Amino acid sequence: MNDLKEAKARAARAYNAAADYFDHPVSSFWHRFGKQTVERINLLPGERVLDVCSGSGGSALPAAERVGPNGNVVAADLAENLIALARAKANARGLENIEFRVGDMLALGYPDAGFDAVVCVFGIFFVPDMAAAARELWRMVRPCGRLAITTWGPKLFEPANGAFWDLIRQERPDLHRSFNPWDRISEPSGLREMLADAGVHTANIVAEPGTHPLNAPDDWWAIAMGSGYRGTLEQLDAETFARVREGNLFRLHQERVSAIETNVIYAVATKS
């Protein structure tokens, strides 16, 4: 399996497994940042939008509400379980202007300039060649249309993230990683360079610092279970899983952690 196929398969497995916790109330940041991304591109009634790596609809659903019944949103994700969550929420809201696809953002098959806006929230970094992915998204943006890419800033989910990986290194060093895929674009300069490599030179890039509250250490574990960490957790046997969980929560309790870092970078580019 080549790097791209392996990355896609790994992401699909992790987020299909994470679907049972993905919409847990403690993980409200998915939808908060998705909505804020949509607000930054000033969608108009009647516009056509492509949302890739759409998850359970954090940006696709507010986009559909913005463009109205005469507009259209296509929401695509590799994880069919997340698409099922998004579809159920769209049905509950009575949104009939949104189409859901289980698919790879690099192989959706849409023509050049087919969308007024293309959106990717917390997903571009899952592709080994991010510039190639951004180039493909940019291709589908019409003249005067917008591309919005939102990614994580530095120190994501710290200090809980560090505690998690310390336990993984102790229990399963073969699964430990010191580098996250989003680290390559976790500063505005790195994101700007990646977009330039993709031929996108018009991006307005804004770094927004932030934190997400934890009412108790268990809140962090729900976040881990409903995110990419699930891919690692799914590879642990029951006893190891229990030790990692208890060790992680004990450390957060001991250090009295009441919030984790959720720094975000927004990039919006308008095509001339």
pLDDT of residue 178 exceeding 80, the answer is no
What would the pLDDT profile of 179-212 be if each residue is shown by its tens digit?
Answer: 777 899 999 999 999 999 999 998 999 999 999 9
What would the pLDDT profile of 45-92 be if each residue is shown by its tens digit?
Answer: 999 999 999 999 999 999 999 999 999 999 999 999 999 999 999 999
Mapped onto helix, strand or coil, the DSSP state of residue 9 is helix
Which pLDDT value is given to residue 1? 54
In which region does residue 55 sit, left (phi positive, over 0), alpha (psi from -120 to 50) or beta (all else)?
left
Could you tell me the sign of the dihedral formed by the alpha carbons of 123, 129, 134, 137, in that order? negative
Nearest residue to 123 (alpha-carbon basis) of 148, 98, 155, 145: 148
Which pLDDT value is given to residue 230? 97
Question: Percentage of the chain with pLDDT > 90?
Answer: 93
Contact in structure between 173 and 106 (CB atoms under 8 Å) = no
Average pLDDT over residues 203-222: 97
Q: Give the predicted TM-score (pTM) of the model.
A: 0.95
Which pLDDT value is given to residue 233? 97
Which pLDDT value is given to residue 5? 87
Contact in structure between 217 and 249 (CB atoms under 8 Å) = yes
What would the pLDDT profile of 15-46 be if each residue is shown by its tens digit?
Answer: 999 999 999 999 999 999 999 999 999 999 99
Average per-residue pLDDT in the chain? Answer: 96
In which region does residue 199 sit, left (phi positive, over 0), alpha (psi from -120 to 50) or beta (all else)?
left
Average pLDDT over residues 95-109: 96
Average pLDDT over residues 149-173: 97
> How far apart are alpha carbons 262 and 272 in whole angstroms?
32
- SS3 annotation, 187-206: CHHHHHHHHHHCCCCCCEEE
